[in-house]
């Protein structure tokens, strides 16, 4: 679906018109919500507790959201925008396809590590999104994956690539770095530093994408012939 034909992005209604104030208050709400949801879980957390953690009154909070479900959506919206913007900004001045991909991988990994508490929260809370919000979130995730698809196509420009492998690789490039969130306690215990871990993930991905050129079915056929 082309960008111009996509349905409009979901809007969480507010009673405030000042966009800078909306952005400021939503960041407060996001920070407070993550703190409360992490400690108490989605169902046990109350809107009053979230307001207190955000440094807002109940009345002020309801100027920016209507429900706890709205809070989950604005957290998703916040982190997906950060991830995409940081990657696109990092590669904006680069022209070499190989360098663009390497920088994008590094930036994606760094951003996920920096916002690991937010990433952990959205994975736990995704089950509580309504259908409209979930559809919007999946659209945003797909756009982010497609950014890596484009980077990979440029990286292998002039070479014959397996389209299935390329699309799968784009998913893997986007989400393998999430291991620094899900396995952070174990990784910190098992390795000397997270810098070593992140460099290892980065190098592993760069070596792994070399499986993209060629034919997937052709490889399976060769394996069968060997057997």
- Whether 46 and 131 share a structural domain: no
Evaluate whether residue 45 is within a structural domain. Answer: yes
Q: Provide the whole-model pTM.
A: 0.79
Evaluate whether residue 48 is within a structural domain. Answer: yes
Query: 43 lies in which domain range?
Result: 14-66
- Whether 21 and 87 share a structural domain: no
- Whether 47 and 94 share a structural domain: no
Q: Which CATH number does the domain housing residue 62 bear?
A: 1.10.10.60
Q: Are 60 and 16 in contact (CB under 8 A)?
A: no
- Whether 34 and 94 share a structural domain: no
pLDDT digits (tens, 9 = 90+) for 70-118: 888 888 888 888 899 999 999 999 999 999 999 999 999 999 999 988 8
Please tell me the total count of domains within the chain: 2
CA 91 to chain centre: 17
- Whether 23 and 105 share a structural domain: no
pLDDT digits (tens, 9 = 90+) for 110-141: 999 999 888 888 888 878 888 888 888 888 88
Structure tokens at 149: 């698809």
Evaluate whether residue 155 is within a structural domain. Answer: yes
């Amino acid at each position: 679906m082309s960008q111009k034909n996509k349905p409009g992005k979901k809007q969480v209604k507010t009673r405030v018109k000042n966009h800078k104030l909306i952005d400021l208050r939503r960041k407060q709400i996001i920070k407070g919500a993550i703190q409360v949801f992490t400690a108490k879980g989605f169902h046990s957390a109350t809107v009053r507790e979230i307001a207190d953690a955000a440094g807002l009154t109940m009345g002020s909070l309801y100027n920016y959201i209507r429900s706890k479900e709205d809070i989950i959506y604005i957290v998703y919206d916040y982190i997906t925008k950060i991830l995409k913007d940081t990657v696109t900004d990092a590669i904006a001045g680069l022209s070499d396809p190989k360098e663009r991909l390497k920088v994008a991988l590094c930036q994606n990994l760094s951003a996920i590590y920096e916002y690991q508490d937010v990433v952990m929260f959205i994975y736990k809370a995704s089950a509580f999104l309504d259908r409209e919000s979930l559809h919007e979130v999946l659209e945003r995730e797909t756009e982010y994956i497609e950014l890596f698809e484009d980077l990979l196509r440029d990286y292998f420009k002039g070479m014959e690539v397996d389209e299935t492998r390329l699309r799968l690789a784009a998913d893997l490039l986007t989400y393998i770095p999430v291991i620094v969130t899900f396995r952070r306690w174990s990784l910190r215990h098992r390795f000397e530093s997270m810098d070593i871990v992140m460099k290892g993930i980065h190098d592993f991905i760069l070596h792994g994408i070399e499986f993209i050129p060629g034919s997937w079915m052709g490889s399976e056929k060769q394996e069968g012939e060997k057997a």
